[in-house]
A and B are shown apart, each in its own frame.
Chain A
Amino acid sequence: MAKNGAARDDRPQNSMKGPALKKPAPKKAEELDRLIHERLRLGIVSALAVNDSLSFSDLKKLMNTTDGNLSVHARKLEEAEYIACTKSFEGRMPKTQYRLTALGRRALERYLDHMEALIRATRER
Chain B
Amino acid sequence: MRMTSVRPLRPEPPKELSSLHGRAMDNLAFIRNTMEAAGSFTAVSGWGMVAIGVLAIAVAVFASMQATAIAALNVWLAAAVLSPIIMMWAMVRKARSAKMPLLSGPGRKFVLSFSPPMFVGALLTFVLYRAGLVEAIPGVWLLLYGTGVVAGGAFSVKIVPVMGLCFMLAGVIALFAPVAWNHAILGAAFGGLHIAFGIPIARSHGG
Interface residues of A (CB under 8 A from B): 16, 18-19, 21, 37, 39, 42-43, 46-51, 54, 58, 62, 108, 112, 115-116, 118-119, 122-123, 125
Residue of A nearest to B11 (CB): A125
Contacts A/B (CB < 8 Å), 20 sampled: A16-B24, A18-B16, A19-B16, A42-B30, A42-B31, A47-B34, A47-B38, A49-B35, A50-B40, A51-B39, A58-B38, A112-B28, A115-B24, A116-B24, A119-B28, A122-B20, A122-B24, A123-B21, A125-B14, A125-B17
**Shortest distance between the CB of A123 and any CB in chain B (Å):** 7
B: residues with CB less than 8 A from A are 13-14, 16-21, 23-25, 27-28, 30-31, 34-35, 37-41
Instruction: Name the A residues within 8 Å of B37 (CB-CB).
Output: 47, 62
Closest Cβ of chain A to B158, distance in Å, is: 14
Question: For residue A58, which residues in chain B have a CB less than 8 angstroms away from its CB?
Answer: 38
Q: A19-B16, A46-B31 are in contact. Are A54 and B21 (CB under 8 A)?
A: no
Additional 18 contacts, C-beta under 8 A, given A42-B30, A122-B20: A16-B23, A18-B16, A42-B34, A43-B34, A46-B31, A46-B38, A47-B37, A50-B38, A50-B39, A50-B41, A62-B37, A112-B28, A115-B28, A116-B24, A119-B24, A122-B13, A122-B21, A122-B24
Smallest distance from the beta carbon of B48 to chain A beta carbons, Å? 21
Minimum Cβ distance to chain B for residue A36 (Å): 10
Cα distance, A48 to B34, chains bound together (Å): 10
CB distance from B176 to the nearest CB of A (A): 41
A124 vs B193: C-alpha distance when bound (angstroms): 53
Residues of the B chain whose Cβ atoms lie less than 8 Å from the Cβ of A18: 16, 19-20, 23
Which listed residue (B17, B31, B38, B41) contacts A62, Cβ 8 A?
B38
Which A-chain residue is minimally distant from B40 (CB atoms)?
A51
Measured between C-beta atoms, what is the minimum distance from B124 to chain A in Å?
38
Residues in A whose Cβ lies below 8 Å from that of B38: 46-48, 50-51, 54, 58, 62
Task: Enumerate chain B residues within 8 angstroms of A39, measured Cβ to Cβ.
Answer: 30
Residues on A with beta carbons closer than 8 Å to the beta carbon of B23: 16, 18
- A37 CA / B26 CA spacing, docked (Å): 12
- Tell me which residues across on chain A come within 8 A of B40, comparing CB atoms: 50-51
Complex CA distance for A58 and B14, rounded to whole angstroms: 42
**7 cross-chain pairs, A with B, having the tightest CB-CB distances, nearest first:** A47-B38, A19-B16, A122-B21, A46-B34, A118-B24, A50-B39, A115-B24
Bound Cα distance from A122 to B20, whole angstroms: 8
Measured CB to CB, the closest approach of chain B to A50, in angstroms, equals: 4
For B31, give the chain A residue with the smallest CB separation: A46
Cβ of B39: which chain A residues have Cβ within 8 Å of it? 50-51
Instruction: Tell me, rounded to whole Å, the shortest Cβ–Cβ distance linking B9 to chain A.
Output: 15
Which residue of A has the minimal Cβ distance to B37? A62
Given A39-B30, A46-B38: A119 and B25 interface contact (C-beta under 8 Å):
yes
